[in-house]
Amino acid sequence: MSRPALIACLLLCVYTCSSHAQSCASYNFAAKQTFSHCADLPYLNSFLHWNYDQSTKTVQIGYRHAGVAASRWVAWAINPTAGGMIGAQALVAFQKSDGTIRAYTSPVSGYQTRLQEGNLSFPVSDLSATYAGNEYTIFATLKLDNVSSAVNQVWQEGPLSGDSPATHPISGANVQSAGNLNLLSGQTGTTSGALDSRTKKKNIHGVLNAVSWGILLPIGAITARYLKVFPAADPTWFYLHALCQSSAYIIGVAGWATGLQLGSKSAGIQYTAHRIIGIVIFCLATLQVSALLLRPKKEHKLRFYWNIYHHFIGYSVIVLSIINIFKGFSILDPDQKWRRAYIGVLIALAALAATLEIYTWYVVLKRKKSSSPNKMSNGNHAYSGYGAHEQDRV
């Protein structure tokens, strides 16, 4: 490549990178509007431009939402009463199926509700919207007589259902797109305290359930299944098993209660499958704990059937818990490192179980081989096979 061509390529790359990295301050509106303040909003590729007249408490806004398809709707809102979504006074825009742009006002009264047209708690004039170059822009003038210059803002985007906005995603950036804005100074903040509190509770809920049902419970099952083969581990294996399972149940109940609290404070938001599986896990685990009080003695004729019940319920809870934990990851949408970390824990536990399975079979078969035929024919089946020995587990 010649030197002039190389220079031209470098200049093109620099121009392209700078155009993608430009902030709101370098943006020029096609209609020659000018704004004294602007802010690069931290989520959903959005920007806010505004002029604020303190004497009349009037604000002119230009909200831009870039990199969005025409099949999506966008919205920007002020929440005069709280820091979250409920109570937000929204400006909504989307492109209809006939290609025209619709812009309207919508007061938000609940989670997962359609953005119905309605009057806001403050007057709005000069409302319009445009769509060009995969970017929506909403213009409006707001009369904020009863609202201070420090406001809570929310911005959002979601899919369309015909010519109406459908429910937006409730994970990732869509639940982080809120913050505070000082119309006078131009200072902005990230997510509000109310949203931070809710996010923290979600994280606590996820951690408690992952540690209890997803880690401690499998460890307790591995302890019971494999340590009992070794006489020297009796009765230590039983106490370790009981400790792991009881700890898992106590922590799991705390996580389950946290989930119920989150659900009660998030009217309209429902994760049906995650919720149903969680209830089933709690019920089965409670039955499992209660069954320990009714455990027959080893020589009792019902012990065989109790063992079958105990194993079936226990393994069912473990499988359902792992499934529900991954559903929880999809809901919380945390950094990928947390999902990978839990997958790593599962792989380690599976590798440990596989190794112990092979070794215990080796130990049992070796004992069987070393046993005399007379002892075996006399009904001493303590080590006559791993399957027979398994029936006497807790």
Q: Report if residue 271 sits inside a domain.
A: yes
Q: Report if residue 3 sits inside a domain.
A: no
Q: Report if residue 24 sits inside a domain.
A: no
Residue at which a domain ends, from 191, 218, 249: 191
Residue 189's pLDDT is 63
Q: Which residues contact 316 (CB under 8 A, 6 or more apart)?
A: 284
187 shares its domain with 199:
no
CATH number at residue 347: 1.20.120.1770
Residue 177's pLDDT is 83
Reported as a single tens digit per residue, the pLDDT across 61-120 is: 999 999 999 999 999 998 887 767 778 898 999 999 999 999 999 998 766 567 888 899
The mean of the pLDDT values for the chain is: 80
Selected residue with higher pLDDT from 299 and 124:
124
Residue 172 DSSP class: G
Q: Which residues contact 229 (CB under 8 A, 6 or more apart)?
A: 360, 363, 364, 389
366 shares its domain with 278:
yes
122 shares its domain with 199:
no
84 shares its domain with 210:
no
186 shares its domain with 199:
no
- Which of 192-206, 241-255, 323-337 is predicted least confidently? 192-206
Calculated CA dihedral for residues 376, 379, 385, 388, nearest 10 degrees: 180
Q: Report if residue 328 sits inside a domain.
A: yes
pLDDT band (50, 70, 90) for residue 225: confident
Q: Report if residue 350 sits inside a domain.
A: yes
Selected residue with higher pLDDT from 270 and 222:
222
Residue 168's pLDDT is 80
**Total domains in the fold of the chain:** 2
Q: Which residues contact 110 (CB under 8 A, 6 or more apart)?
A: 86, 267, 268
Mean pLDDT of 175-186: 79
Mean pLDDT of 338-346: 92
Q: Mutual orientation of helices 303-332 and 336-370 as an angle, nearest 10°?
A: 160
Q: pTM for the complete prediction?
A: 0.52
Q: Report if residue 369 sits inside a domain.
A: yes
Calculated CA dihedral for residues 344, 345, 351, 354, nearest 10 degrees: -140
pLDDT band (50, 70, 90) for residue 13: very low
Structural domain for 124, as ranges: 33-191
Residue at which a domain ends, from 191, 210, 236: 191
pLDDT band (50, 70, 90) for residue 362: confident
239 shares its domain with 165:
no
Residue 393's pLDDT is 41
Residue 2 DSSP class: -
SS3 240: helix
Mean pLDDT of 183-212: 71
